[in-house]
Amino acid sequence: MNQSDFELFKELNPETLQKKFLNSLLKIHNVQRGSIWIKKKDTYLCIEAAGAESDQIKGVSLDVQHPSIVGWVIENKKMTVAETKSDRRHYKEVEDKLAVKSSLILCFPLFFRDKKVYGAVQIIDTTPEKSSLNLDKGYLEQLQNLVDICSIALSNAILYANERKKTQSLKTALKEVKKESVIIGQSPEFKKCLDLVKSYAGTEFHVLITGDSGTGKELVAEKIHKSSVRKDKPFLVQNCSAIPETLLESELFGYKKGAFTGATRDKIGLFEAADGGTVFLDEIGDMPMSIQASLLRVLQENEIKPLGETRVRHIDVRIVAATNKEIKQMIADNSFRQDLFYRLSVLPVHLPPLKERREDIPLLVRHFLEKESLKAGMIEKKIATDAMQSLVSYSWPGNIRELENLIRYLMVTAEDEYIELLNIPLHVRNQNANIDPFSDPSVSSKDGANDFIINLCSMTWPQLEKEYVISLLKKSNWNITWAAKASGINRSTFASRMRKLEIRRDRQDFD
C-alpha cells in the first residue's frame, strides 16, 4: 500500500472505510471482485461488495448452517484459499445469477483488538486461469498482517458509529423527555381517571381536577389539551396562589396603557393570549372572590374586559381548573362562588393520592431514574428489591412530586450502581419517626445537624441540594473538607456548589 492507502485508517465512517479497504485490496491483487461479510445472529451478511455485478452480492445473507467459505473462515479464525469448482465449502447458489463466476477465492478473517472474529473479507479471481492472485506463502503472511490492521481500523469505526448512534438515541430520548410529559400508572383507580380524561378530551366542556398536592394535576390538564381539537393552539398555565390579587387580575385579563401607575403599554392577558386554546388555572381555590366574578363572565359569555378598557373582547378558550381544597366546604364558608363551581365542574376528575395506587410506585421510580439519568448524562442506577419495598410501603404525603425529588436525591447520594435500602432516608424507611432525611442516626437529635426537618415534597431541586449541603456542613462543624468527603465529591467541587447555592456562614471562615 502507498501513503494514500494508509489514509483510510483515519476514516471514522464505517461505510466509507469498508469501501476504501476493499477497493485497496482489489487494487493490490489486480482482481475485479471482492466482498466483506459479518456474522449477524444466524446469518453471514455481505455489508460491502466491489467489482463487476457487486450490486447483486451486497446485502446477501447466508445461513450459518449452510457450508460457505466465509462461514469456514469466521468459525475457524484463519485464512483460506479455495478453488470454487472443487471446494465443497463454496456456496455456488450465490453466483447463479452472475454472468461471470469466481474461479479462486482468497478469504481472510476480520478481528477485533481482542482477537475475536467478527467477519471476513473475500478477494476473488474471476479469470479462468486463476492467475491474478499471488499465493506465495510469505506474501500471504504479510498480507494477513495488513488485513489485521485494516480490520481493527474497521472494527473501531463500527464501534465508534455504534456509540454515536447510542449518543444520538440518548439525545433524542432526552429531547422527548423534556418535550413530552408522560403520565405513568396502571392501577385500577388511576386507569379510571385516565379513561375519564380520554373521554373529556373529545368535548369542549370545562374540567375541574381535584386531588392532593403533587398528584399530577397539571400533567392531566396538559393531556386533556393535547388530546383535544385545540392541541395545535396555546396551552397556558396560571397558578392562582402564586401572585397577589391585583397582579393576578392583570395577568389573566390584561390592561390598557395608563390603566394604573406603571401601565406604560398595553398588555395582553392570559385568556386573550390563549385564544383558541386551553387555560389551566391551578389552585383555583385560592382565587380571590373579586376575580371569581370576572372568571364567571369568561365561562358564561366568552368575553373579557382588560383593566382600563371600556369595551369587552370576545375570546374562545377552554378552562381546565385544579384544586387540592374542599371547594364545597369553601362554598359553605362563602369563600368560593357556588355558580362558578358549577360552571367549572361540568366534567370533574379526582386524582387519587400515591398511597392509594401503590402498584404504580415501581413504574414511577424506574421512570424517574431513567428520566433524571438522561438529564444528568449519568448511567442509570438500579434499585434493590428491599429498597423498592421500602418506597412502596411509604405513605408519600407529598405524592408524586415527593417521590420525584427523592429519586433525584438518591441519584446524587447513592455512590454505587444500585440504590440499596441503607441509601433510603430514615423518614421513608420508618415513616412514623420524625427524622431529618439527611441526618446521621448516630447523632443526637439535640445536635445542630438535626435542626432541619425537611419536607421533600415541597422543595425544588436547588432547594433540596442546598438543604443537603447545609446539613453536611453543620454535621461537619462547618468544615468544608470534611463535608466534601462525606458527600463523595472533591473539595473544590463542593466549594463551587456552595458558591452557586449562595451558602455562607455568618461568622469567620469555614475551616
Measured between alpha carbons, how far is 7 from 150 in angstroms, rounded to an integer? 11
Sign of CA dihedral 327, 333, 339, 340: negative
Question: What does the angle CA 169 – CA 175 – CA 180 come to, to the nearest 5 degrees?
Answer: 120
With cut-offs at 50, 70 and 90, classify the pLDDT of residue 161: low
Burial class (CB in 10 A: 0-12, 13-18, 19+), 325: middle
Q: Which helix (H) or strand (E) holds 80?
A: strand 80-83
Residues β-bridged to residue 423:
none
Mean pLDDT check: name the lowest of 169-183, 258-272, 371-385. Answer: 169-183
| pLDDT tens-digit readout, 183-222 | 888 888 899 999 999 999 999 999 999 999 999 999 999 9
With cut-offs at 50, 70 and 90, classify the pLDDT of residue 450: very low
Q: What pLDDT, on the 0 to 100 scale, is given for residue 379?
A: 80
| pLDDT tens-digit readout, 453-494 | 445 555 677 778 888 888 888 877 788 888 887 777 888 888
**Biggest CA pair distance of the chain:** 105
With cut-offs at 50, 70 and 90, classify the pLDDT of residue 451: very low
The answer to whether the CB of 160 falls within 8 A of the CB of 187 is no
Relative to beta strand 382-383, strand 418-419 is parallel
Using a cut of 0.75, tell me whether the model's pTM lies above it.
Answer: no
DSSP characters over 210-262: EE-TTS-HHHHHHHHHHTSTTTTS-EEEEETTSS-HHHHHHHHHEE-TTSSTT
Measured between alpha carbons, how far is 29 from 370 in angstroms, rounded to an integer? 52
Relative to beta strand 104-111, strand 80-83 is antiparallel
**Dihedral, CA atoms, 348, 353, 357, 363, nearest 10 degrees?**
100
The answer to whether the CB of 126 falls within 8 A of the CB of 31 is yes
The answer to whether the CB of 238 falls within 8 A of the CB of 252 is yes
E strands present in 297-346: 303-304, 313-314, 318-323
State yes or no: pLDDT of 149 exceeds 80: no
State yes or no: pLDDT of 178 exceeds 70: no
With cut-offs at 50, 70 and 90, classify the pLDDT of residue 437: very low
| pLDDT tens-digit readout, 114-139 | 778 888 999 899 888 887 788 888 88
Average pLDDT, the chain: 83
Sign of CA dihedral 24, 25, 29, 33: negative
| pLDDT tens-digit readout, 76-87 | 989 999 998 899
160-164, 170-174, 290-294 — most confident range: 290-294
| pLDDT tens-digit readout, 233-287 | 999 999 998 888 888 988 999 988 887 888 888 889 999 999 999 999 999 999 9
Amino acid identity, residue 60?
V
State yes or no: pLDDT of 508 exceeds 60: no
Q: What pLDDT, on the 0 to 100 scale, is given for residue 20?
A: 83
Q: Which helix (H) or strand (E) holds 47?
A: strand 43-51
Q: What is the mean pLDDT of residues 219-230?
A: 94
Q: What pLDDT, on the 0 to 100 scale, is given for residue 457?
A: 59
Q: What are phi and psi of 321, to 5 degrees?
A: -110, 160
Measured between alpha carbons, how far is 315 from 87 in angstroms, rounded to an integer? 83
The answer to whether the CB of 344 falls within 8 A of the CB of 382 is no
- Find the DSSP H helices in 423-460: 426-429
Measured between alpha carbons, how far is 118 from 158 in angstroms, rounded to an integer? 11
Q: Which three cell numbers stand for residue 73?
A: 473462515
Q: Which of 133, 85, 79 is nearest to 108 (CA)?
A: 79
State yes or no: pLDDT of 304 exceeds 60: yes
Q: What pLDDT, on the 0 to 100 scale, is given for residue 181?
A: 63
Contacts of 28 (CB under 8 A, 6+ apart): 1, 143
Q: Distance of CA 495 to CAs 241, 460, 477, 480, 499, Å?
A: 36, 21, 15, 7, 6
Measured between alpha carbons, how far is 211 from 491 in angstroms, rounded to an integer? 44
Q: What is the mean pLDDT of residues 47-74?
A: 90
State yes or no: pLDDT of 18 exceeds 60: yes
